Structure 1
Amino acid sequence: MDNIKIIVSHPGKQHSFQTATAMERTGILQYYVTSVYNKRGSITSLISKIAKGDLKKKLSTRFCSSISENKVKQINEIFVVITLFLNRFPLLNYFTENWNFFVESLFYKKLMKFVKKESPDAIIIYNGSSNKHLKELDNTRIVKIMDMSIAKREYIHDILQKEIDETGLKEIRKMHMSYWDEKMIRNDKEGCNMVDYFLVPSHFVELSLLSNGISREKIKLVPYGVDIKMFSYKERKRKDDILRIIYVGNISYRKGSHRLLQVVSEIDGVELFLAGTYDKNSSLYTNYSGIKNIHFMGFITRDKLNDLYNQCDIFILPSLCEGMAMVGLEAMATGLPLLCTYYSGVNDVIENGINGFVYNANKNDELKHHIIWFKNNMDKISEMSKCARETSLRYSWDIYQKNVSKAILECIKEKKILRS
């Protein structure tokens, strides 16, 4: 590959293992830079040996066998270990968001020094507090590529503010204070002007960039993938006439939980299973925890999700804002039809009435209509289930890796042409 060298960096994980694996298999990965990684001799490795339960399982996922260990560099490991601990306490939400911002900023500050020293052809970073440190690379020939895992912060702010105006729910701002933080919004906006190219997983994220003045020529659309072996298809046998709906993710306003809970509480013959962390003091929990057809299950580890999916009929994503919710693809891989909003990102793969339905996030009547449709047409779910699985096969991680490698090489080639 003409000695092309790429550094992939992420202070957490998300889908960065897949991106780094793609670079490794293409023969262009110089380093994968992260924080928490189960590498021999690392703090993570030591903690994982004494950890128990869900924490041990979570730490075990911070390792990727397809990335050469000598190419993995760790920065700020102990700070992010603390972050993983704090994330388990919803009551500390606002403090945790600010702590995350501080830790990410420190990570990227050290990263830029490392990148300048190694001088790769390109660096892949993720949207967040990386932005304000990008100016360190201004006088280099390094191509700066930002992988946008979610819509721009300012765009999210506008959506949430509109939701407050429509519903009068002031708790939305309290739960998601960081989207009103002017420093974070300014950092996000200024940083995007320093980036050469953007990788986006969905048209929704693309729209958030275009609406903020980013040129379409700088945007590469690369949808995420799913592990089609881990999330396997199983034909479901119906035992009763109850429609079982599953949601996976944090219980929050940004995720649209308030609208989902309200609608489901009004429908008979439906059960909702919520697999994700929640704040017991939030009205999202206190107002609905006593309702018989709504089940707050708490955090569920990934190794248990497949079995949970196979016990349900449809998967729902009521999000007000996402990037491309990978849990949606995972659910479809197990054969669950998807009911999602136009803001979920995964709506890009939905064919209405074939493998699911897409609805407007702020229209409770549309959500209710689709749930009742599934309830009244349960005989059609089996065929939609097969279509959902077939859809997921077009979005495997192998396909993602080929697409992201192609997109990144295009970025480097285009930048060279512009410079010549």
Structure 2
Amino acid sequence: MNVAVFHPGTQHSWQTATAVQQLGRLQFYATSIFYKPEEWPYRIERYLPGRLRQRVHDEFRRFEHPALDPELVKSAGLFEWLERIAARAGLEKTAVRLDLAGNRRFARFLEREIRSDREFALWGYNSSALESFELARDLGRFCILDRTNGDFRVYNRIMEEILGEYGDYFLPGHRRIPDWTIERDDREYAEADRIVVGSEFARATLAQGCPDPAVAKKTRVLNYCFDESLYADLPKPAPVPPGEPVRFLFLGQLIPRKGIHHVLEAIEQIPASQARLTLVGKMGVPKEAFARFADRVDFIPTVARADVPRIMSEHHVFLLPTYFEGAGIVLYEALASGMALIQSRNAALAATPDTGIMLEEIDTGSLLGAMMALVDDRNRLDHFRAHAQAEAQNYTFARYRSNIAKVLAEAGLGG
């Protein structure tokens, strides 16, 4: 049976769609943003002045996926673009409202396809699949929910524990997931015939958080993959020169959920001659809290996907002391770039004894100790980096595609 993959944003949905396409099973890929230079709004870039044209092009190419057959792609992206503009402007509540409106509009966009007499299953993503799943189930279609987060009841419990000590690092919207979001998640769980998550940690949170035991029974772990085409030309990492500061990198959302407060507190305690820290991504810490550390870090706002490999290859150690993660594709990207890892267990377990350090506790002291262990032992650091790219081969697209085939076969959708 064919499968229709849909997501009003991006996540890793384009990789899922590409894998299903290569298996010869893609009915269509529906998304809001897909770079087609000849279509609106993308053709606007040709009419813009030089510097602005380059900025707009850099933004658009974040949604360029040449491996996908454009004839199998359906896109409708007005609300997604408006949501992104609102989020970049710091209008968080407006962005949430636009996201919800966009998801409803996207479901209506898909309704005609779902009601067709063509036989196919649906593969949708959390927080955007409910309306389509409800219709599909009424029509007897099989539904797969790709849950890119753990269960938010567990998230709320974890955040409540750290708010007392680190509340100053939280923006208002990151303190707690509202009950209505969790209620909607439960409805998506119920409508799904199968749920896939990106790590054992995420699977465990669904089993711990959701009161319906049926959810745990239909949940499977499907390891994600990284985009090999972006990392294929990176050289093997060279040993870190003696006396050179170790270059640490934290890339993604710069928020307490991912342990950014521990990263900032740790780098403050290491002499600048021994370590440097680069932060890449959207700043999610109040200005007042970040100000005290600003002179110890290099901060780069959100960049295009194509620029990430270069940035990673210029650093030695990737940090992810996260409290709550669906998986962490960025960990696989760091390995492919030849970086050592320091990570918590609350994510995909990408670090091995040959590639990095797995934190047993998520706190500043543990992170600082791990960072200093690599600052002080360059041989160990070089060993981790020398083995990183080989370990990344466990998270290739081919491996992901094979695992998707197994998920479909196990669900009775093979052939």
Normalised by the size of structure 1, how large is the TM-score?
A: 0.88
Q: 3-state DSSP class of the match of 2:63?
A: coil
Q: Note the residue ranges of structure 1 that are not aligned, 5 or more in a row.
A: none
**Where does 1:9-408 land on structure 2 (aligned, <5 Å)?**
9-39=6-36, 41-49=38-46, 50=48, 52-75=53-76, 77-89=77-89, 91-117=90-116, 119-165=118-164, 167-169=165-167, 172=170, 174-176=172-174, 179-211=176-208, 212=210, 213-231=213-231, 232-239=234-241, 240-268=243-271, 269-278=274-283, 281-289=286-294, 291=295, 293-343=296-346, 345-346=347-348, 348-352=349-353, 354-360=354-360, 362-408=362-408
Q: Distance in 1 between matches of 2:268 and 2:166?
A: 20
C-alpha contact 1:143 1:412 (8 A) present in aligned 2: no
Q: Distance in 2 between matches of 1:222 and 1:36?
A: 24
CA-to-aligned-CA distance 1:245-269 (integer Å, 9 cap, x gap): 0111121122211121112111222
Return 5+ residue gaps in structure 2 as ranges: none
Match of 1:124, SS?
A: strand
Superposed CA RMSD? 2.4
The count of corresponding residues between Structure 1 and Structure 2 is 403
Note the alpha carbon deviations across 1:258-289, whole angstroms, 9 max, x for none.
12111211122221110112158533422321
State the alpha-carbon separation in 2 of the partners of residues 40 and 241 from structure 1: 44
Instruction: Tell me if the contact between 1:198 and 1:219 (Cα under 8 Å) persists in the aligned partners.
Output: yes
User: What one-letter code is carried by the residue in structure 1 that aligns with 2:135?
Assistant: E
Which secondary structure state, in structure 2, belongs to the residue aligned with residue 245 of structure 1?
strand
Q: Distance in 2 between matches of 1:233 and 1:157?
A: 41
CA contact (8 A) 2:5 2:30 kept: yes
Does the C-alpha gap of structure 1 residues 275 and 171 become closer, same or farther in structure 2, counting only changes over 3 Å? closer
Classify 1:408/1:287 alpha carbon distance in 2 versus 1 (closer, same or farther; 3 Å).
farther
d(CA) in 2 for partners of 1:341 and 1:65? 34
Instruction: Say whether the 8 Å CA contact 2:190–2:215 is kept in structure 1.
Output: no
Task: Write the letter of the residue equivalent to 1:158.
Answer: R
User: In structure 2, what residue type is equivalent to 1:387?
Assistant: H
Indicate if the aligned counterparts of 1:24 and 1:67 stay in contact, CA closer than 8 A: yes
Residue 237 of structure 1 and its aligned partner are, at CA, apart by 4.3
The code of the aligned residue for 2:366 comes to: E
Q: TM-score, normalised by structure 2?
A: 0.89
Q: Deviations over 1:192-242 (max 9, x none)?
A: 111110111111111122111344441222111123342224322434331
CA offsets per residue over residues 293-314 of structure 1, 9 Å max, x none? Answer: 3222222323332222222211
Q: Which amino acid aligns with 2:66?
A: S
CA shift digits 1:115-170 (9 cap, x unpaired): 122554310000114225532233222111011112123222222222214x1516
Q: Tell me which amino acid in the other structure corresponds to 1:156.
A: Y
| Contact 2:336 2:388 (C-alpha < 8 Å) held by counterparts | yes
> How far, CA to CA, are the matches of 2:395 and 2:380 in structure 1?
24
Instruction: Give me the identity figure in percent.
Output: 19
The answer as to whether partners of 1:123 and 1:144 remain within 8 angstroms in 2 is yes
CA 322–334 in structure 1, closer or farther in 2 if over 3 Å, else same = same
Q: Whole-Å Cα distance in 2 between the matches of residues 201 and 280 of structure 1? A: 26
